[in-house]
């Protein structure tokens, strides 16, 4: 007789990988199914963990709790996967006018922003940034190398023989009250972590996803010597071997007709990069993916309203790197220890 797993997880992006990580830590058996979809967000993201975002310099939701939890989780994963994944990097943000500078100064004297206000200068960057109005420094920010994390988790799950690399076929799922069957697999629950592909999931596509396409360039910039991330219209994020992540564009569903990279967006990114720095660079790669963004910008956690053997962990939106560890662990507490889900993330909020 075939083994009954505690959980089948569909999707081995950031959400599925971290959920599997926490469930396994609690001694549960998991089995993952993933088809390495070309538009998967985790394979394209920079993994910026940014405490202060947007035009109005607003502190990210629950950041004081999310950051230490994320740091501890990624550092534990680094040890297990024997790979460097979590990098503490300050952000230098270019301010374009008087109003922005005033808004920034107003934020920088607020008590609950103190931990995140960093040094505004960076000698290594100053010589290559285009003329600018002023600079703002952000600290206690970080970068998680999400594409490497996904690749290493993939290898890890394959070695444990708990990853099936194929497209999940919803028509073959048989649902019972206390278990599900899928082909040769049986589990107590199936948890869907499909990112933007959840739009094709017949059980959860009623949730209000508002997907946003993003394109990025990977470029080589030999004269960029800083370890910091620079936000100058676009983000410039250090990778390895003089390469940098440049991005990203943002397009709502009504405005894109393909999930692939486009010439128009490449031009847009190149224009922005030229406006940001005045040293030579060479394009290495141009990539696109779709973010699993949602209407109220809060993750989707919970059980299907009718079939309690179906669950979802999704909606990580534009901030998966900081959100995923905390909420994956929270979901485990709900699934295993029957703790209540916080109302703000529970999909019951849409019932």
Q: Candidates 89-97, 126-134, 254-262, 317-325 — which segment interacts with ligand FAD by CB under 6 A? A: 317-325
Q: Candidates 53-61, 75-83, 256-264, 313-321 — which segment interacts with ligand FAD by CB under 6 A? A: 313-321
Report strand pairing: 234-238 vs 52-53: unpaired
Phi, psi of 316 (to 5 degrees): -75, -10
Which member of 5, 31, 42, 104 binds ligand FAD (CB under 6 A)? 42
User: Closest distance between ligand FAD and the C-beta of residue 97, in Å?
Assistant: 25
Which member of 20, 34, 145, 157 binds ligand FAD (CB under 6 A)? 34
Q: Candidates 36-44, 134-142, 172-180, 221-229 — which segment interacts with ligand FAD by CB under 6 A? A: 36-44
On whether the CB atoms of residues 210 and 291 are closer than 8 A, the answer is no
On whether the CB atoms of residues 5 and 31 are closer than 8 A, the answer is yes
Does 40 engage in binding with ligand FAD (CB under 6 A)?
A: yes
Does 46 engage in binding with ligand FAD (CB under 6 A)?
A: yes
Closer CB to ligand FAD, residue 126 or residue 271? 271
Does 221 engage in binding with ligand FAD (CB under 6 A)?
A: no
Site for ligand FAD in 201-220 (CB under 6 A): 214, 216
Closer CB to ligand FAD, residue 54 or residue 131? 54
Does 30 engage in binding with ligand FAD (CB under 6 A)?
A: no
3-state secondary structure the chain: CCCEEEEEEECCCHHHHHHHHHHHHCCCCEEEECCCCCCCHHHCCCCEECCEECCCCEECCCHHHHHHHHHHHHHHHHHHHCCCCEEECCEEEEECCHHHHHHHHHHHCCHHHHHHEECCCCHHHHCCECCCCEEEEECCCEEECHHHHHHHHHHHHHHCCCEECCCCCHHHEEECCCCEEECCEEEEEEEECCHHHHHHCCCCCCCCECCEEEEEEEEECCCCCCCCEEEECEEEEECCCCEEEEECCCECHHHCCCCCCCHHHHHHHHHHHHHHECCCCEEEEEEEEEECCECCCCCEEEECCCCCCEEEEECCCCCHHHHHHHHHHHHHHHHHHCCCCCCCCEHHHHC
Does 168 engage in binding with ligand FAD (CB under 6 A)?
A: yes
Does 197 engage in binding with ligand FAD (CB under 6 A)?
A: yes
User: Closest distance between ligand FAD and the C-beta of residue 91, in Å?
Assistant: 11
Site for ligand FAD in 229-258 (CB under 6 A): 247-248
Does 142 engage in binding with ligand FAD (CB under 6 A)?
A: no
The length of the chain in residues reads 351
Closer CB to ligand FAD, residue 55 or residue 178? 55
Q: Which residue is nearest to ligand FAD (CB)?
A: 13
Does 15 engage in binding with ligand FAD (CB under 6 A)?
A: yes
Which member of 321, 328, 341, 345 binds ligand FAD (CB under 6 A)? 321
Phi, psi of 199 (to 5 degrees): -60, -20
The CA distance from 209 to 315, in Å, is 7
Which member of 9, 44, 229, 303 binds ligand FAD (CB under 6 A)? 44
Which member of 152, 231, 232, 319 binds ligand FAD (CB under 6 A)? 319
Site string for ligand FAD, 268-297 (x = CB under 6 A): ---------------------x-xx-----
Residues of this chain that bind ligand FAD (CB under 6 A): 10-16, 33-37, 40-42, 44-48, 146, 167-168, 193-197, 214, 216, 247-248, 289, 291-292, 314, 316-322
């Amino acid at each position: 007789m075939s083994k009954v797993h505690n959980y089948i997880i569909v999707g081995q992006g950031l959400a599925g990988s971290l959920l599997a990580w926490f469930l396994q830590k609690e001694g549960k058996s998991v089995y993952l199914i993933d088809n390495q979809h070309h538009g998967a967000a985790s394979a394209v993201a920079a993994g910026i963990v940014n405490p202060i975002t947007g035009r109005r310099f607003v502190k990210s939701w629950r950041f004081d709790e999310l950051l230490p939890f994320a740091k501890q989780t990624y550092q534990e994963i680094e040890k297990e996967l024997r790979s460097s994944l979590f990098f503490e990097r300050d952000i230098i943000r270019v301010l374009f006018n008087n109003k922005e500078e005033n808004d920034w100064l107003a934020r920088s004297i607020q008590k609950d922003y103190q931990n995140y206000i960093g040094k505004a200068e960076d000698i290594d960057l100053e010589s290559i940034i285009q003329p600018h109005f002023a600079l703002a420094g952000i600290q206690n920010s970080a970068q998680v190398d999400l594409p490497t994390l996904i690749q290493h988790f993939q290898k890890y799950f394959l070695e444990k023989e708990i990853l099936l690399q194929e497209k999940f076929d919803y028509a073959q799922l048989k649902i019972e009250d206390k278990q599900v069957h899928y082909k040769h697999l049986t589990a107590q629950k199936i948890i869907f972590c499909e990112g933007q592909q959840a739009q094709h999931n017949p059980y959860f596509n009623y949730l209000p996803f508002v997907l946003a396409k993003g394109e990025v360039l990977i470029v080589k910039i030999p004269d960029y010597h800083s370890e910091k991330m620079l936000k100058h219209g676009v983000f410039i994020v250090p990778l390895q071997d003089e390469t940098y992540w440049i991005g990203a564009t943002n397009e709502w569903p009504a405005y894109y007709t393909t999930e692939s990279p486009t010439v128009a967006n490449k031009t847009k990114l190149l224009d922005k990069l030229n406006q940001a720095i005045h040293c030579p660079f060479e394009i290495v790669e141009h990539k696109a993916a779709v973010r699993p963004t949602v209407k109220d910008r809060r993750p989707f956690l919970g059980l299907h309203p009718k079939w309690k053997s179906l669950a979802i962990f999704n909606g990580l939106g534009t901030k998966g790197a900081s959100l995923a560890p905390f909420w994956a662990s929270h979901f485990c507490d709900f699934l295993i220890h029957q703790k209540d889900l916080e109302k703000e993330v529970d999909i019951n909020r849409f019932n």
